[in-house]
Chain A
Amino acid sequence: MFHVPTVQFTQEQEQFRLDVRTFLQDELAKGTFTPKCDSWLSGDDPEFSKLIGQKGWIGLTWPKKYGGQERSTIDRYILTEEFLAVGAPVAAHWFADRQTGPLLLRYGTEEQREYFLPKIVKGECYFGIGLSEPNSGSDLASVSTRAEKVEGGWIVNGQKIWTSNAHLCHYMVTLVRTSPFDGKSKHAGLSQLIVDLHAEGVTVVPIKFLTGEHHYNEVFFDNVFVPDNMVVGEIGNGWAQGLAELAFERSGPERILSTFPLIDELIQELKRQKNLEGLQQASKIIARLWGLRNLSIGVAQLLESGNGEDVSIPAALVKALGTKFEQSIPEITRLIVQTYPTLNAHRKIDRFMAESILHAPGFTIRGGTSEVLYGVVAKGVVAQ
Chain B
Amino acid sequence: MSEMKDMILNVVERMLKEKVDKELVDTVEQGHWAPELWDLFKENGMTAVAITEENGGAGGDIEDLLNIVRLTGKYAAPIPFAETTFANYLLEFTSLQVIEDLATYMLYPNQAFTLENGKLTGEAIQIPWARHTKRLVTLAYSTEGTHLVEIDLSQAEIKLGSNLAGEPRDTVKFHHAKVSQVSAVLSPDKIHAITTLNTAFQLALMTGAVDKINDLTVQYTKEREQFGRPIHRFQLVQQHIVHLAGETAIALAAFNNVTEALLKNNQNSEVAYACIRFEEIIQAVTTIAHQVHAAIGTTHEHSLHQFTRRLWSWRDEGASTSYWTNLVATQLLNSGDSLWGYLTSSSASSPLLKVEG
| Known A264-B338, A382-B221: A14·B346 in contact at CB below 8 Å | yes
Contact A279–B333 (Cβ < 8 Å): yes
Majority SS of interface residues in chain B? helix
Contact B276–A287 (Cβ < 8 Å): yes
CB neighbours (8 Å) of B260 from chain A are 6, 8
User: A8-B260, A267-B338, A271-B332 given. 18 additional CB < 8 A pairs?
Assistant: A4-B249, A81-B344, A267-B332, A274-B333, A276-B326, A276-B329, A286-B328, A286-B339, A287-B272, A288-B280, A290-B273, A294-B250, A294-B254, A321-B246, A374-B238, A375-B235, A378-B238, A382-B241
Assembled-state Cα–Cα distance A1/B273 (Å): 22
A194 at the interface (CB under 8 A from B): no
B248 at the interface (CB under 8 A from A): yes
B225-250 near A? 1/0 per residue, CB < 8 Å: 00000001001001101100110111
Contact B249–A1 (Cβ < 8 Å): yes
Assembled-state Cα–Cα distance A298/B254 (Å): 11
B106 at the interface (CB under 8 A from A): no
A320 at the interface (CB under 8 A from B): yes
| Known A260-B340, A321-B246: A1·B252 in contact at CB below 8 Å | yes
Contact B276–A382 (Cβ < 8 Å): no
Contact A314–B332 (Cβ < 8 Å): no
CB neighbours (8 Å) of B245 from chain A are 1, 317, 377-378, 381
Interface residues of A in 60-87 (CB under 8 A from B): 81, 85-86
Q: List 14 A-B contacts (CB under 8 A).
A: A1-B249, A6-B260, A17-B344, A81-B344, A260-B340, A276-B330, A279-B329, A279-B333, A287-B276, A291-B274, A291-B277, A320-B242, A374-B239, A377-B246
Assembled-state Cα–Cα distance A262/B223 (Å): 45
Interface residues of A in 1-34 (CB under 8 A from B): 1-6, 8-9, 11, 14, 17, 21
A354 at the interface (CB under 8 A from B): no
Assembled-state Cα–Cα distance A286/B254 (Å): 13
Q: Which listed residue (A5, A263, A274, A295) contacts B249, Cβ 8 A?
A: A295
B322-357 near A? 1/0 per residue, CB < 8 Å: 101110111011000011110110100000000000
Residue in B closest to A370 when the chains form the complex, CB atoms: B242
Assembled-state Cα–Cα distance A277/B280 (Å): 19
CB neighbours (8 Å) of B325 from chain A are 280, 283-284
A268 at the interface (CB under 8 A from B): yes
Contact A6–B277 (Cβ < 8 Å): no
B285-328 near A? 1/0 per residue, CB < 8 Å: 00000000000000000000000000000000000001011101
Contact B222–A279 (Cβ < 8 Å): no
CB neighbours (8 Å) of B326 from chain A are 276, 280
Assembled-state Cα–Cα distance A8/B261 (Å): 9
| Known A284-B325, A288-B277, A378-B241: A264·B246 in contact at CB below 8 Å | no
A197 at the interface (CB under 8 A from B): no
B23-35 near A? 1/0 per residue, CB < 8 Å: 0000000000000
Assembled-state Cα–Cα distance A257/B254 (Å): 18
Majority SS of interface residues in chain A? helix
Number of chain A interface residues as a range: 35 or more
CB neighbours (8 Å) of B330 from chain A are 276, 279
Assembled-state Cα–Cα distance A292/B254 (Å): 9
Contact A381–B241 (Cβ < 8 Å): yes
Contact A284–B276 (Cβ < 8 Å): yes
| Known A280-B326, A321-B246: A271·B218 in contact at CB below 8 Å | no
Residue in A closest to B326 when the chains form the complex, CB atoms: A280
CB neighbours (8 Å) of A103 from chain B are none
Residue in A closest to B254 when the chains form the complex, CB atoms: A291
Most chain A beta-carbon neighbours within 10 Å: one of B241, B253, B272, B326: B253
Assembled-state Cα–Cα distance A2/B253 (Å): 10
B214 at the interface (CB under 8 A from A): yes
Residue in B closest to A277 when the chains form the complex, CB atoms: B329
Assembled-state Cα–Cα distance A287/B329 (Å): 12
B155 at the interface (CB under 8 A from A): no
CB neighbours (8 Å) of A320 from chain B are 242, 246
| Known A85-B340, A378-B242: A291·B211 in contact at CB below 8 Å | no
A289 at the interface (CB under 8 A from B): yes
Contact A4–B252 (Cβ < 8 Å): yes
Assembled-state Cα–Cα distance A280/B276 (Å): 10
CB neighbours (8 Å) of B332 from chain A are 267, 270-271, 279, 282-283
Contact A291–B343 (Cβ < 8 Å): no
Q: Which listed residue (B232, B241, B257, B344) contacts A6, Cβ 8 A?
A: B257
Most chain A beta-carbon neighbours within 10 Å: one of B218, B221, B329: B329
B256 at the interface (CB under 8 A from A): yes
CB neighbours (8 Å) of B329 from chain A are 276-277, 279-280, 282-283
B264 at the interface (CB under 8 A from A): yes
CB neighbours (8 Å) of B235 from chain A are 374-375
Contact B344–A317 (Cβ < 8 Å): no
Interface residues of A in 265-321 (CB under 8 A from B): 267-268, 270-271, 274, 276-277, 279-280, 282-284, 286-292, 294-295, 298, 314, 317, 320-321
Interface residues of A in 344-384 (CB under 8 A from B): 373-375, 377-379, 381-382, 384
